[in-house]
Amino acid sequence: MEKDRVQRYAESLERTIQNNYHYLKETMEDFQEMCRMVTPERNVPREIIIDIREIYKEIRDRSI
């Protein structure tokens, strides 16, 4: 009985890790693309900068 509970817990942790991995992979691609839009020569909307900061915080929080 205890072994089944531990096994289910381990499987749950594995699913959580896999979900975080897939989320981070997709989010990193979006984040990198948004960062490429920001250059000194361009006039970037403030909303893009705010989005980049928020995405960065989310990536950082999920990576810990």
| Residue pair 39/49 in contact by the 8 Å Cβ criterion | no
**Full 3-state SS string of 26-56:** HHHHHHHHHHHHCCCCCCCCHHHHHHHHHHH
17-23 average pLDDT score:
94
- Whether the per-residue pLDDT at 29 is higher than 80: the answer is yes
Q: Where are the domains of the chain?
A: 2-63
41-57 tens-digit pLDDT = 889 899 999 999 999 99
Q: What's the pLDDT score for residue 40?
A: 86
Looking at the predicted structure, is the pLDDT value of residue 58 above 90?
yes
Q: Which two tokens stand for residue 52?
A: 């980049």
